[in-house]
Amino acid sequence: MILVLAAGVFTGIMTDSGMIKDMADAALAVVPDSMGNPIPLVTAVLALPLGFFMSNDGYWFGVVPVLTESAAHYGIDANQIARAGAIGRILHMMGPTSAPLWVLLGLVKAELGDFQKHALRWGVPVSLAYIAFAVLTGAVTVS
């Protein structure tokens, strides 16, 4: 309950203070106008490493709002960015910031590196296939 309240406060401060808009404007300053339309695809690809290394809160309340605001400058709906951002959640459960993974590894007495060697061998191709499927079905647009 406290986590949800804190996340709401964090998001409110970031939005109402204009920080998200300013960060999006800074990101857009380095992106050529011709590269604006594939932001959902870029978001899906970025979601994989960011989802692996970042906590859920940092990703969803820090990164995704900035990408959503950036995409809005090109007329891209926030739903596109949300769908693209969710793709990275596949690898999140294999990353070092996943608390349930640490519990599981402790119960089975396994090492994180050993688990990741096997899991990422399957997780990365499945994630890339998921991106391709999302593009083919139009859930994530390229142009």
Count CB neighbours of 55 within 10 A: 15
Burial class for 124, CB neighbours closer than 10 Å (0-12, 13-18, 19+): middle
Q: Cα separation of 126 and 119, whole Å?
A: 11
Asked whether residue 104 is domain-assigned, the answer is: yes
**Cα–Cα separations (whole angstroms), residue 82 to 24, 45, 89:** 16, 13, 11
Residue whose structure tokens are 């604006």: 36
The 10 Å CB-count burial string (b at 16+, else e) for 16-35 is: eeeebbebbeeebeeeeeee
Calpha distance 136→86 (Å, rounded): 16
Count of domains observed in the chain: 1
Q: Is residue 143 part of a domain?
A: no
Per the structure, the complete domain to which residue 115 belongs is given by: 2-137
Q: Is residue 43 part of a domain?
A: yes
Q: Is 141 helix (H, G, I), strand (E, B) or coil?
A: coil
Low-confidence residues in the chain, pLDDT < 70: 1-8, 10-11, 14-15, 20, 23-24, 27-28, 30-31
State residue 79's pLDDT score.
93
Whole-structure pTM value: 0.77
Q: Are 66 and 23 in contact (CB under 8 A)?
A: yes
* Domain contains 28: yes
- The verdict on residue 142 lying in a domain is no
